[in-house]
């Protein structure tokens, strides 16, 4: 709810429920192309993640003013249909769905997504031309996830509404030639006109401000959300993220076959770093024993380098509130320290 109409540089003051109690706190709400397209209060997107990005986590994000996303990479479309129904019970705020193209088994995934009545889709892990026009013809807003400038230009040519630009420090399946967010994001933003959501390494307000300085208008968080209170994963995975140093992820399978990926360092993944298994995807056979059973050696715990910056499990509303508050402080501090004299000089 907007409580003061102060608009300066796309900024409003808004009142939101406090994550710390019943008192409402005032935040800066950001008005830009991402908030407009997504219909959200804050341009913070929760990453799609197989089995994890379901209604308990996604509704918490949407209710906190960000954008929750429901996964389809698990391939369990009957379960996903129920999750989307649950979303409608749990929140009246916008949410989206992800189509991770490399994992699609249903040839009518577009029909499935359209039938669910969602308005926003991210497509990832594949050719942006494959689903973009059909999704757009059905009236959906489509963002494509890209790991390189080449992929970004292709996606723009395919007609996407926006991009998720994902740096190689992020968790999950990756381009084998990974590029860090610090390099990739300003490069892509300088060459495309569509709005960009930054992913990979985003964990708080400072990293969000950095992403905005590099040209993004929104951010996506994966590892931070895996380790949130509402994330359904076993506490052993969350605790492993809390314990991780910034050097405790591994980049696996750069030379294939199958996808490259970034995951937490365990005994198994450290061994794979030296000698990858013949088929990396086979290692996800027992993923649920890790995800929900807590056996960290049963499979591979996809996670990003920001694991090294996460030291507490927090409710999603607190993550989002703290991120926005710190973003505001950072932007204001930067303007005070570096902005004003320049403005005076120009004035």
Ligand X SMILES: Cc1cc2nc3c(=O)[nH]c(=O)nc-3n(C[C@H](O)[C@H](O)[C@H](O)COP(=O)(O)O)c2cc1C
- Contact residues for ligand X (CB under 6 A)? 47-50, 52, 71, 73, 98, 100, 124, 145, 166, 169-172, 199-202, 220-224, 226, 302-304, 306
Least Cα distance to 28 among 46, 2, 50, 54 occurs for 2
Q: How far apart are CA 50 and CA 73, in angstroms?
A: 5
DSSP secondary structure letter of residue 198? E
Are 320 and 44 contacting, i.e. CB atoms less than 8 angstroms apart? Answer: yes
Are 203 and 227 contacting, i.e. CB atoms less than 8 angstroms apart? Answer: no
Are 330 and 206 contacting, i.e. CB atoms less than 8 angstroms apart? Answer: yes
Least Cα distance to 220 among 256, 177, 169 occurs for 169
Least Å distance between CB 52 and ligand X?
A: 6
Least Å distance between CB 269 and ligand X?
A: 13
Least Å distance between CB 287 and ligand X?
A: 10
Are 62 and 95 contacting, i.e. CB atoms less than 8 angstroms apart? Answer: yes
Least Å distance between CB 336 and ligand X?
A: 29
Least Å distance between CB 197 and ligand X?
A: 9
Q: Between 59 and 223, name the residue whose CB sits nearer to ligand X.
A: 223
Q: State how far the alpha carbon of 147 is from the alpha carbons of 1, 4, 167, 228, 249, in Å.
A: 36, 39, 6, 25, 18
Q: Between 124 and 148, name the residue whose CB sits nearer to ligand X.
A: 124
Q: Between 220 and 330, name the residue whose CB sits nearer to ligand X.
A: 220
Q: How far apart are CA 97 and CA 107, in angstroms?
A: 17
Least Å distance between CB 221 and ligand X?
A: 5
Least Å distance between CB 291 and ligand X?
A: 8
Q: How far apart are CA 228 and CA 317, in angstroms?
A: 10
Q: Between 14 and 145, name the residue whose CB sits nearer to ligand X.
A: 145
Least Cα distance to 73 among 103, 46, 110 occurs for 103
Q: Between 14 and 128, name the residue whose CB sits nearer to ligand X.
A: 128
Q: Between 14 and 240, name the residue whose CB sits nearer to ligand X.
A: 240
Query: CB count, 10 Å around CB of 193?
Result: 7
Q: How far apart are CA 109 and CA 96, in angstroms?
A: 14
Q: How far apart are CA 172 and CA 143, in angstroms?
A: 18
Least Å distance between CB 262 and ligand X?
A: 8
Please identify the residue of the shown chain whose CB is closest to the bound ligand X. Answer: 222
- DSSP tally for the chain: helices H, then strands E: 14, 14
Q: How far is CA 233 from the centre of its chain?
A: 17
Q: Between 282 and 341, name the residue whose CB sits nearer to ligand X.
A: 282
Q: Between 93 and 238, name the residue whose CB sits nearer to ligand X.
A: 238
Q: Between 14 and 194, name the residue whose CB sits nearer to ligand X.
A: 194
Are 278 and 293 contacting, i.e. CB atoms less than 8 angstroms apart? Answer: no
Least Å distance between CB 303 and ligand X?
A: 5
């Amino acid at each position: 709810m907007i409580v003061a109409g102060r608009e300066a540089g796309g900024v409003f003051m808004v009142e939101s429920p406090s994550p710390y109690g019943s008192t409402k706190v005032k935040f800066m709400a950001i008005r830009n192309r991402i908030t407009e397209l997504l219909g959200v209060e804050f341009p913070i997107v929760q990453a799609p993640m197989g089995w994890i990005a379901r209604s308990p986590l996604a509704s918490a994000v949407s209710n906190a003013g960000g954008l929750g996303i429901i996964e389809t990479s698990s391939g369990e479309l009957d379960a996903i249909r129920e999750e989307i129904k649950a979303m409608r019970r749990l929140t009246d705020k916008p949410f989206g769905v992800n189509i991770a193209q490399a994992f699609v088994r249903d040839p009518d995934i577009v029909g499935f997504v359209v039938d669910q009545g969602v308005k926003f889709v991210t497509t990832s892990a594949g050719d942006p031309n494959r689903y973009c026009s059909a999704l757009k013809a059905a009236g959906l807003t489509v963002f494509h996830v890209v790991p390189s400038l080449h992929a970004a230009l292709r996606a723009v040519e395919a007609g996407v509404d926006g991009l998720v630009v994902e740096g190689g420090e992020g968790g999950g399946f990756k381009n084998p030639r990974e590029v860090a967010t610090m390099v990739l994001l300003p490069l892509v933003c300088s060459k495309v006109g569509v709005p960009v959501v930054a992913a990979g390494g985003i964990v708080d307000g400072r990293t969000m401000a950095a992403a905005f300085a590099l040209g993004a208008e929104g951010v996506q968080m994966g590892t931070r959300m895996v380790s949130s209170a509402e994330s359904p994963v076993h506490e052993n995975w969350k605790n492993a993220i809390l314990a991780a140093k910034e050097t405790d992820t591994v980049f696996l399978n750069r030379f294939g076959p199958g996808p490259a990926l970034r995951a937490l360092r365990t005994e198994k993944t450290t061994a794979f770093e030296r000698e990858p298994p013949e088929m990396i995807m086979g290692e996800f056979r027992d993923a649920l024993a890790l995800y929900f059973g807590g056996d960290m050696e049963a499979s591979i715990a996809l996670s990003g380098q920001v694991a090294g910056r996460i030291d507490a499990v927090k409710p999603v509303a607190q993550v989002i509130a703290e991120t926005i508050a710190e973003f505001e402080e950072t932007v204001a501090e930067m303007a005070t320290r570096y902005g004003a004299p320049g403005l005076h000089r120009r004035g």
